[in-house]
Chain A
Amino acid sequence: MSAALRSLLRRPAGAAGAAIVAAVALVALAAPLLAPHDPLALDLARKLRPPGPGHWLGTDQTGRDVLSRLIWGARPSLAVGLLAVVIGTLGGVTLGVTAAMARGWWEAVAMRGMDALASIPLLIWAIAIVGIIGVGPVPLGPFQLPNESKIVLLVGVLYMPPLARVAHGGALLEARADYVQARRLQGAGTLPIMLGDVLPNCLSPVVVQATLLIAVGIVVEASLSFVGLGVEPPAPSWGGMLADARRYIFSGEWWTYLFPGLAISITVIGFNLLGDALRDTLDPRKASGTVRVVA
């Protein structure tokens, strides 16, 4: 793995992608330390100030610090992208690998189910689910989950098919491999073979796919926040900031709509570069790029 990591970082694209992702993750984690202002603090005396000392990226229509909101806005973006992929990976890999090991009816049911799920368009369904349940926090016992958790769950479930397919394909190959057959002849049980041999060896394409799907998830979250179905204001989110900034396109307050868009794009570029570089290092058979995420 460390050899793969080194070879990943030696590619300029891989190194750039890893650096961007690491930087955004750091910003999200250390938001309270990094943000110069309270992202929610209104300052009506200082609204729509251009970038300058005190507010390095300017202020928005209620005088909130754009830089601080950008820093805090990294949190919902990364959270939705990562958590959806975690759900999709856990579900998809479990289904794909067990289907490949069990074959028979379970394989048929699981993979046909994945095919059906894959024929559901992601974005419209995210809109529909939030639309029907309604925008608002989700009570879960003593906790209040934010509105985005609906997006996480739906996107996570819809991420299962592509991850299940690559896991299934990889696991089929591994299960047929000579060393697995040999382990079987030695009397090793199905579960140890599945967890010890097949699973670790079919994860490379899953990691590639998952990285690219994080990028898609971030854009979905931003798009939903933009139309008012994602992160609820006044909590900072990149999509929500762009929704607020729409009307300032005509009056020239460019910092309100330039920086949030750059934040989304650079973060997404980071994950895409990292995913492409991971594919080139981990999965050389597909190096020319046949695994493609369309959304």
Chain B
Amino acid sequence: MALLEVRDLHVGFPVAGRMVEVVRGVTFSIEAGEALGLVGESGSGKSQTALAILRLLRHPGRVTRGSVRFEGRELTTASEAAMRSLRGSSLSIVFQDALSGLNPVFPIGTQLTDVIMAHRGLSRRAARDAAVEALGLVGIRDAAGRLGQYPHQFSGGMRQRVLIAMAVACRPKLLIADEPTTALDVTVQAQIVALLHDLRARLGLALLFITHNLDLMAEICDRAVVLYGGMMMEDAPVGALFAAPLQPYSRALLECVPRLGDRAGSLRPIEGASPVPGRLGPGCPFEPRCGVALDRCAAERPPEQRRGDHRVACWAAAS
């Protein structure tokens, strides 16, 4: 049994009396200890998928169909109290807003110990020790001395480390990292990715790494799920995806990534406009921009096909 199983997940926001779906039937799973990349451009539904897993969708958004199972337990129908005890403990998350993710008027020590006390049933003193340990784990030196400091006394990269410490302080089995590096400098980005890689090895946690950056994803993930227009396009081991992408969108995405040794000017953006949720037809969302689209691509949703450990949703790849 997989650690996390997302099956036919739909997320919708009511807009002017009708449901606009931003996630439209996404299916994937993560094994214990595995690192899965969830890749797509902004608006592909990757962050909404993460929020739906944790049931943290912004009101009035909600899961309209499908199932999320964590350790075999259904989360879409679980009680709010059950979700609360899960969040931050065995199922945790790091967001992209590193600079604004910590509460500005409380010392970081208070924020860390509050999370630890909420889940681990420790006394305040023991929770303090656990907080120091968690900060040490993410590479913050002199952790005990910094517990009393406020977020504004930390740099952006350090704040993201504190947030990661908070997320792993209760030893999660799955850590969702939702674009954890976008708000940071490039050099700091690499350090944070290295830290996540290291934590995964040391704590044995599974990772759901959400990004639009294929290179970062390739650095730490075993497998990748490509999303487009709220639908799953392709699910493959990272090596296979880079070597032989089956979906035309995945191919286009890979061609966008600048590589060392590229001739200047060889960068090719994907032609056409990004999909707008709520204005998509019944077929493949990539069809309007696809170079190899068939007649039926616009009319019918492509079926998911499995080829070994490789899944793809594409009419062209099917034929």
Does a CB–CB distance below 8 Å link A and B in the complex?
Answer: no
Q: Which residues of A contact B (CB under 8 A)?
A: none
